Amino acid sequence: MHLKEIQGLRAVAALLVAVYHIWFHRVSGGVDAFFVIAGYLLFTSLFRKGDFAPAAIRRYYQRTMARIVPGVAAVVAGTCALFYALEVDSIWRAQILDAAASLGFVMNWWLAQTGRDYLDIGAPPSPFQQMWALSLQVQLYFALPLVAWAVHAVVTRLRLGERWVFGILAALAVVSFAYAQSMVFIDQQRAYFDSVARGWEFLLGGLLALRIERLRLSARAAKALGLVALFVFCTFAAAIPAADLFPGAVALIPVLATAAIIVAARNGGEIRPLTAPAMQRLGDLSFAFYLWHWPLYVAVWIRTGDADVGLLPGLGVIVLAGLLAQATTAWLEAPFRRSRWANGRFAAAALACALVLAPAGLAVGAWGAAYLDARREANEAMARFKAGQDVAGVLPPTVVLRADVAKGYYGDCHQVGTAEAAKRCVYGAKDGDRTVALVGGSHSLQWLPALEVLAERESSLRILALTKASCPFTFPDPSFELAHAPSCAEWTRRVIESLLAEPPAMVLTVGTRMTKIGEVVPEGFAAAWAPLLEAGIPVVALRDTPRPGFDAGLCVDRSPDLSACAVERDAVLRPTPFGPGEVPEGVRLIDLSDLFCDDRICPPVRGDLIVYRDASHITATYARANAHRLAEALGQ
């Protein structure tokens, strides 16, 4: 049975996703509705026909890919062309790999790995990031028919009855939900993109399809249920900003609201806002609209340098996404779905899909080749600079700007997420008799390249790095919030234990932090230093680098006028870094703010060197170039 409410709900979900992405930067629940609807329609198709033969499943795959492939090919190729034209060298690398992951329908797993990379903090997101949901959907489109076939085959062979089909699938949904809920607390960012953690949303839609005939309501009750569910679905994200809790229990709200709307529609409770002709047409375009809105928004973000693009540019994104969705659906998707190739033999349809994807693959390949050429030239320039030769232009070249980071980011040395172990990584003289412990978050780690220069000059200097992303060396403090506060506190405690067990000659850490009230020395910092001071371990507190408040590296990349990328000194630094009584007695204070700001402004480039690679982290090149200043401050 065709339900107009489902088509209208698709339109609402796509619009909610776009609105919350563009103006509110939070999760809307729209993607969760897509997943429930997909599961409902998938199981309705499979179990209505009751044909689980391999040929029937192949036909289902064939129809699914014929519907999906043209839009994906158009969006990937169009996004490659758009961002090549934007000439933003500093974010090329990630975009190319993301484009390839999108074409391979593995973007969710790619983001589960690279999305946890703290190097990308402060940068505009990938213009292909929206492809994670489609990739996950395709994976489950292929997996769930096989699961349903296996369950149905076992139940039929054992003559257990159809109730067992429902029971086994329900058990799988419960397992998936339990896994999702547990992963939210272990590694939420990975769970967000995890196919297994999202499987329960599809399965709930499928279970609804199996029992929809038994869920009887009067038309009046159904209409009331549908309107209430639609209201909950539309207002959920505004009332509960819970992006960090998806896809756990909080996702039940949009999921159950979607299920309630389907039940209401199935029982004749017409939901007028969803059945209107305009909503039906938008529903037809919802898939392509969802794919197009995101790269357009990211393009505006990059050109303006601000995630808050404003009302009119945001509306422009929505209108243009709608027009491109109309063109993609009418000129590519619909003709391809009607073609003889797409409706012929499975092998012919697979070949047709490959041919449709080929131009997008060529676009990605050409873009990648251009990037490799640019990166080779950039690496040659950096090699000449390190050899003491003159190099034209600013350094590092913007095409390798994001990768100009400390060694500690590579491997497993720099802790991320909710990890609590105090990992120890050694640089410089591995067996040196003088150890400097570099402790804290990424704003401590960014000084590792400078310390390595000192270690090259002093053969006995051993550098011990204990760092964790988004976690300064602190105990909980009311002046600022941390993304993973509980794990940060435990990590700090374990770092202290590690340092007390093997005392270094010195602990170097960040001593100030920018908060909503300005630059402060948090009480939590002093609390973390206290046990070390009591044990006689010297603590050196380094004034934090100024935070521009925008992606300064990207600004340098796209702005011919570098003065537009500077910030007022008074806006990011207070007159004196450490106030009376803020720092415990015995802590050495280091202020290198003159490396970043003069008396009036903090420029993005100093002496032909780019200072920042993103919104707050300095480049490894700039840190190395100023190693002598750190040495002077440390008394080396």
Q: How is 294-352 classified by DSSP, letter by letter? A: HHHHHHHHHHHT-S---HHHHHHHHHHHHHHHHHHIIIIIHHHHHSHHHHS-HHHHHHH
Question: The tokens 């290198």 sit on which residue?
Answer: 592
User: Same structural domain for residues 507 and 620?
Assistant: yes
User: Same structural domain for residues 222 and 351?
Assistant: yes
Nearest to 541 by CA among 549, 550, 532: 532
The two tokens of residue 325 are 């969705």
Which of 309, 335, 362 terminates a domain? The answer is 362
Specify the DSSP element, H or E, that contains 36: helix 30-49
User: Same structural domain for residues 545 and 474?
Assistant: yes
User: Same structural domain for residues 354 and 454?
Assistant: no
User: Same structural domain for residues 188 and 95?
Assistant: yes
- Domain for residue 52, yes or no? yes
- Domain for residue 1, yes or no? no
Is residue 122's pLDDT more than 70? no
More confident: 334 or 582: 334
User: Same structural domain for residues 66 and 176?
Assistant: yes
- Domain for residue 376, yes or no? no
Tens-digit pLDDT profile for residues 288-341: 999 999 999 999 998 888 888 999 999 999 999 999 999 999 999 999 988 887
- Domain for residue 408, yes or no? yes
Specify the DSSP element, H or E, that contains 33: helix 30-49
- Domain for residue 415, yes or no? yes
Q: How is 53-75 classified by DSSP, letter by letter? A: SHHHHHHHHHHHHHHHHHHHHHH
- Domain for residue 280, yes or no? yes
Lowest-confidence range among 191-200, 202-211, 392-401?
392-401
Q: In the chain, what percentage of residues exceed pLDDT 90?
A: 61
Strands 567-568 and 601-602: what pairing? Answer: antiparallel
- Domain for residue 3, yes or no? no
The CATH number assigned to the domain holding 531 equals 3.40.50.1110
Lowest-confidence range among 292-301, 350-359, 475-484, 566-575?
475-484
User: Same structural domain for residues 80 and 167?
Assistant: yes
User: Same structural domain for residues 64 and 142?
Assistant: yes
Is residue 119's pLDDT more than 60? no
User: Same structural domain for residues 450 and 527?
Assistant: yes
Mean pLDDT of 133-146: 95
Mean pLDDT of 507-526: 87
Helix axis angle for 4-19 and 30-49, nearest 10°, is 150
Mean pLDDT of 455-469: 93
Mean pLDDT of 609-617: 93
Cα dist from 466 to 508, 545, 584, whole Å: 11, 19, 22
93 Cα distance to chain centroid: 16
Taking a C-beta distance cutoff of 8 angstroms, is the pair 510, 546 a contact? no
User: Same structural domain for residues 413 and 313?
Assistant: no
Range of the domain at 429: 398-634
User: Same structural domain for residues 470 and 592?
Assistant: yes
What region does 556 belong to: left with phi over 0, alpha with psi -120 to 50, or beta? alpha
Taking a C-beta distance cutoff of 8 angstroms, is the pair 47, 209 a contact? yes
When the pLDDT of each residue in the chain is averaged and rounded to a whole number, the result is 90
The residues near 214 (Cβ < 8 Å, ≥ 6 apart) are none
- Domain for residue 6, yes or no? no
Question: What is the reported pLDDT for 350?
Answer: 82
Angle (CA) 225-229-235 rounded to 5° is: 150
Please, which pLDDT band fits residue 121 given cuts at 50, 70 and 90?
very low
Question: What is the reported pLDDT for 74?
Answer: 96
User: Same structural domain for residues 576 and 431?
Assistant: yes
Number of domain units in the chain: 2
